[in-house]
Structure 1
């Protein structure tokens, strides 16, 4: 039995490592990884081309030229905008292009290329408010939406008495505007023109001024060879007026997007391939998180009940720290901070590790409560029959403890499935990641999230029922 368990654990570890890694056969091929936030139409955005979800935009065309001049294959990594700098500084991407301004604050952590584009800022409002917010002075005291960690955030912060709402995604900001939660959204003109709903929104005559409205390519500090190569490529593109050509072509691609009037069921059916892919990743990460969290949680529970003070201290410290800090912070520490020590996990590995470590802290307390809930006389009776303490714990105490805390364990497993959505922040293609892709590539602000919510409910409801069946089966022996 022990051999079978060890083999199963080994197979799961191999699957995890192989799933998250690039095949060794490809290692000899030169690649360069681009980091971008593909929700910034027409700079970079998702579009279905020949039935395949593709990241397009004029920033992407520039990145392709950079890769071609380097003689490398371009790999595109899509993530949230405010995660781009950690992705770059941790070495997970080689360069970033995402409509990024080379601000002095960003220059403290990364280097920038020469500017390749300059764009005007604009203000988007609801159509009925177009005259009301026709000047920058009229925005004083207004509720303003901007993209997080952007130059527009700096512009909005300087508007007197304005309430600033900073979000990751442009579609989220436009949804805030459409629902009346903000009065205006500050964005660059190409972004505003490509993303807004022209039927309900308008670009006002107000023109925000910024100290830094140029865009540049970001690279890690002291990577002079790559920086020089990128500058040479950009110089060539600028001299041949190719950047403006890319801008025009991307604008045409963005303009070809049509708002669809689909209900939730129709939306799911049309984009079912996205969701099916997301379900696979969500189930994989959740299953592995449950498996390793269960093992580690049981070990921690036994350590906390150990007679050795050192083991108790380690277990208590672990449990308190992991339960007392947000899981998202833990995910970022594991995925980004550990690279400083030469530990470089793939997004899937980081997601599974975070879920396992966090879940183990809660399961440890559940197991401890279950073990302490078993009458002490059970242990004494087992010892009197000649069992060692380990045998008594394995054959008598733990089976009864598991039966008593099974509902709490099932609840924790359900929580893991829901909380697995945080891995979308580091670029894992789970359900939430797919929903965000669809929000950016369609005009549907709510349907992608509604479909994802329904799928999460189906997964958790099914697991809840299965846990109920298991609970009744284990309890059948108690019936008299």
Structure 2
């Protein structure tokens, strides 16, 4: 993990799902319980452990804990969370159904045309995951040619499959399988319906620790995750950046990485 503290602008120099309401709250609603603090609603996409997932019906994960800690350092109040498929998060944000996205979302130029991001809070590469007891052991992207491959809709993993395999003609589009979340993709991998899944490295490590799958190799992409916010919400974005800086400067950020990823 890289703790580089890059601003969003410095870094950039380098719909279809149904929401499940966890807690109803008007976006940028009226005063909350903290002396009239502005209430906000966060959106995420469970099925991306350890960033966001469901345990015994409860929404948990690194992003959940981190955003809550960040908001606690601001004059805003987090009124609740709503759950979406990943590809529906940006439409939910721009339609003002939620006020911030916390979902392991990579900062990139395409998304930045529609929304803004906070400063990065986590760095990642893509990992290629295969069955632990299988006979397929790819060592590079070219080894995936002709194989049934999976990724989650709207993610960088899907973009990597498209740009590195399908567009160059190394993989027929019929061999690519997209999923609403990575739990379904890994289950299909375990069942032998696909031969590999392209997924963010820390998430791949979590699946490998819990299921009979393994990381065959890592494809370096140098991605940075940020919280997604609406364009023009500059005051809110600055508040989140200030809160993130405070959380990083104290022990909270390291405590959360230790909790969800082990000692860093």
Give the structure-1-normalised TM-score. 0.44
Whole-angstrom distance in 2 between the partners of 1:168 and 1:226: 30
Residue 150 of structure 1: CA displacement? 0.7
Residue 56 of structure 1: CA displacement? 1.4
- SS class of match (2:220): coil
Residue 129 of structure 1: CA displacement? 3.4
Residue 266 of structure 1 corresponds to: none
Residue 243 of structure 2 corresponds to: 233
Q: How do residues 77-156 of structure 1 correspond to structure 2 at under 5 angstroms?
A: 77-129=82-134, 132-156=137-161
Taking CA–CA contacts closer than 8 Å with sequence separation of 6 or more, which of the two structures ends up with the larger relative contact order?
A: 2
Residue 209 of structure 1: CA displacement? 2.4
- SS class of match (2:91): helix
Whole-angstrom distance in 2 between the partners of 1:21 and 1:134: 46
CA RMSD of aligned residues (A): 2.4
- Is 1:76 equivalent to 2:108 in the alignment? no
**Contact kept in structure 1, 2:48 and 2:183, CA below 8 Å:** no
Whole-angstrom distance in 1 between the partners of 2:106 and 2:25: 32
- Is 1:189 equivalent to 2:201 in the alignment? yes
In structure 1, stretches of 5+ residues that fail to align are 1-19, 253-480
Write the deviation string for residues 278-297 of structure 1: whole angstroms up to 9, x where unpaired: xxxxxxxxxxxxxxxxxxxx
Aligned length in residues: 225
Residue 141 of structure 1: CA displacement? 2.1
Structure 1 or 2: larger helix share? 1
Whole-angstrom distance in 2 between the partners of 1:239 and 1:227: 18
- Is 1:58 equivalent to 2:66 in the alignment? no
Whole-angstrom distance in 2 between the partners of 1:43 and 1:229: 22
- SS class of match (2:43): strand
Whole-angstrom distance in 1 between the partners of 2:89 and 2:72: 22
- The ranges of structure 1 where at least 4 consecutive aligned residues each deviate by more than 4 angstroms after the TM superposition are 20-23, 196-199
Whole-angstrom distance in 1 between the partners of 2:250 and 2:260: 18
Whole-angstrom distance in 1 between the partners of 2:55 and 2:24: 26
**Contact kept in structure 2, 1:126 and 1:178, CA below 8 Å:** yes
Whole-angstrom distance in 2 between the partners of 1:137 and 1:105: 25
Residue 33 of structure 1 corresponds to: 41
In structure 2, stretches of 5+ residues that fail to align are 1-22, 33-37
Structure 1 or 2: larger strand share? 2
Write the deviation string for residues 215-248 of structure 1: whole angstroms up to 9, x where unpaired: 0011001110001111112222334464343122
**Contact kept in structure 2, 1:116 and 1:243, CA below 8 Å:** no
- Compare CA radii of gyration and give the structure with the larger one: 1
Whole-angstrom distance in 1 between the partners of 2:255 and 2:133: 35
